[in-house]
Every structure is written in C-alpha cells, then in structure tokens.
Structure 1
Amino acid sequence: MKRIILLFTLLIGVAVGSYAQKFALIDMDYILKNISSYETAQEQLEVVSKKWQGEVEKVQLDVKNLYKKYQSDLVFLSAEQKTARENEIVEKEKSLQELNKKYFGPEGELFKQREALIKPIQDDIYTAVKEISEAKGYQLILDRASAESVIFASPRIDISNEVLAKLGYSK
C-alpha cells in the first residue's frame, strides 16, 4: 500500500513538474537603444519639443514683461487703464496656457508626434515578443526596465537579444 502511495505521489510530482511555467525577461531600454529608428524618432521629438518650448517661453517672457510694465506704470494709470492692462495680461496668460496645452497637453502635438513615431516601433517589439513567447512556450515575459520589484534575474532567461534578432537588429 505504501508503494502505491509513493508511486502515486511521484507520478503527481512528475505531472506537476511537466507543467512548470516558463518565464523570460526582456530589457526594453536595451532593445530600444539598439534600434536605430527609435533613436532617430527620439531626436526628431527632441527637436520639435525644443522648438515648441521656445515658442512657449517667448510668450511667457511677453507676459512677464507686460506685468513688469504694468507694475512700473501702476501709479500713473487711471482705473480704466488699470483694468485694460490687467485684462490684457490675463488674456496673454490664457493664450500661454492654451499654447502650452496645444503642444504639451495630454492630447497635444507632442503626444501625437510621439504616437506617430514611436508607437509603430513599440508595436513591432510587442509582436516579436509575442511570437517568441508562443514559439518557446513562455507563460510570462517581464520587462526588466519597468519591473522595479525584480531584484535579480538570471541572464539566461533574458531574451532581449532574441527580440532584436527577430526585429532584424542582430547583436
């Protein structure tokens, strides 16, 4: 009877072991640094962002100068002139906020540019990871770059170079 129980326990152990989950890691930062089109897209975004930031800063300077001029002329202005200047400053600040939102807001131009340039690259990476995962039977693939809770992971389970090879960027 003990032999049967022992044999049954071993059989269950082997069965459970054969269904062990397979894990892998990727390092998205490493992958993106090795894709030239990503670097180009980042440079384009940086150039556009600096240009738009310059426009925003110019309007900020205009608002600041208007306010300084208003402060220096305050004692010489009538009540109507004060109100007109204050309204001018408020309108300029509103236009500054709208410009900032237009370029850098959640639905702004920078977001749209980033979507157009970087999302296709990310989609290609996701497709490559998915294909590798299905081919090798991985149940879970973690991104080492964004998984802050991963303290240590064996380099043997890192498939970043496989992803790069699948995308045509052999290392």
Structure 2
Amino acid sequence: MKALRYSLLVLTLVLLLAPAALAQKFGYVDSEFVMGKMPAYAQAQQELNTLSQNWQKDIEAQKQDLDKMYRTYRAEEVLLTEAQKKKRQDEITKKEQDVRAYQNKIFGYEGQLFKKRQELTRPVQDQVFEAIEKVAKKKQLAIVFDKSGDLTMLYTNPVHDYTEFVLEELGLASSDRNQPAQPGATRTVTPPQTPAGSPDTEPSAPQAAPTRTRPSGRP
C-alpha cells in the first residue's frame, strides 16, 4: 500500500514538473462502479454472502456448545473433585481455542472467505482491466487513474471520465450513465464470547478478525 502511494506521489510530481508529461493525455475510471454493473460480480457477491452466512451459523453452533459446556460445569461444580474441575476447565478452554481457531481460519486475514473472494472476483476484475486497457489504447491515454482506488481525487473534471467508455467496451452502457451502483456487502460474524462468570483458568474471548468487504485490487 505504501509503495502504491509512493508511486502515485512520484507520478503526480512528474505530471506537475515535467513539460513533456503535461502533454500526455490522461483519464480516470471508476472500477467499482463498473464492476457493480456486471452480473457476474453481483453473482459472486451473492455467493460470498451465502458462504459467509453458512460459516456464521457454524460458529454460532460452536458458541452454543461452548455455552452448554460451561453451564453444565457450573451446575455440577459443587459435586466435582478438584481433579474433575480441572479436567472440565481444560475441556472448556480447549473448546474456546477451537472456536477461535475456526473463526480465524474462515474470517481471518487470508482465510477461506478472503481466498474465496479472490477466486470469485478476479475473473471479473480481469475483464474490467482488459476493457480499461482497450479504452486507453483507443483514446490514446498515457495514464488511467482508478477513482475508486486509494488515490484521493479531490476534484474530477468529467471530460476526463472514461468510465462510460469502459462500460461500452463491456457491452454494459446504459442511459443511466455514471449512476453509482450498490456495492456488494459480505456479512461477518460476531466472535464467540466466554460465558459470564467463567473460571479464571479460561482464556478471554477471542477478538473479531478483520475481513475485507471489497474485492481485492488489480492482480
């Protein structure tokens, strides 16, 4: 990310300082808007949401099992020997660790959801970037910025907006040109919480692992 921003800074300086660079044509495209118009992208987002919801149900079921284990332990605690208490506490701790590990495996950085998002959205991204390349060559553009990327565009002159040309290249141009599309959202889960009043030997509840809601950038 830092390398990208540094490259953009250098590029901006070149455009501002070099007369030859100022003579080059440039434009920008809103790739997120374009992908929002593509049926394949909407289908990918729907599949991701379905997978995410199913994985969430799995974690909720594991949380219920953990809660049941703890409630049973509390109800029987007075009848247990110290060795039996220690064994039950270890079982609860192990269950907590298993739930946390499963959550990280699914929703953690580069977890299954992240990998599945890349798998489903990369073909769509490839189509978009191929169309952008074709438009750039047809319009003789030396530079094409992505309005929906990390580059902050404080002002954009519509004369440099080539988003509609990219949509035309993909066969998606319509009369409602440049109307923002609704981005697909991927639901995440609430991390499993340790039941109130759990034994001191139990670890604290896992923290929610970060997930990406937007498709990964250009491969």
What TM-score does the superposition give when structure 2 sets the normalisation length? 0.64
| Distance in 2 separating the partners of 1:102 and 1:129 | 35
Equivalent positions of 1:12-161 (< 5 A) are 16=19, 20-147=23-150, 149-161=152-164
How far 1:18 moved relative to its partner? 9.1
Q: Counterpart of 2:194?
A: none
| Distance in 2 separating the partners of 1:146 and 1:19 | 23
- SS, match of residue 25 in structure 1: strand
- SS, match of residue 101 in structure 1: helix
CA RMSD in angstroms comes to 2.0
How far 1:170 moved relative to its partner? 2.3
How far 1:76 moved relative to its partner? 2.9
Quick check: 2:35–2:128 contact (8 Å CA) kept in 1? no
- SS, match of residue 54 in structure 2: helix
5+ residue gaps in structure 1? Answer: 1-15
| Distance in 2 separating the partners of 1:74 and 1:29 | 56
Per the alignment, do residues 63 and 18 of structure 1 end up closer, same or farther by CA in structure 2, a change over 3 Å counting?
closer
| Distance in 2 separating the partners of 1:88 and 1:18 | 66
Ranges of 4+ aligned residues in structure 1 off by more than 6 Å: none
What TM-score does the superposition give when structure 1 sets the normalisation length? 0.81
Larger Rg: 1
| Distance in 2 separating the partners of 1:79 and 1:113 | 46
Deviations 1:72-109 (A, max 9, x none): 43333211111111111122112212321332233432
Higher relative contact order at CA 8 Å, sep ≥6: structure 1 or structure 2? 1
Q: Counterpart of 1:5?
A: none
Give identity over the alignment, percent. 30
Deviations 1:11-58 (A, max 9, x none): xxxxx5796122211112211121111011101110111001110111
Deviations 1:104-139 (A, max 9, x none): 233432223212211110011111112222332222
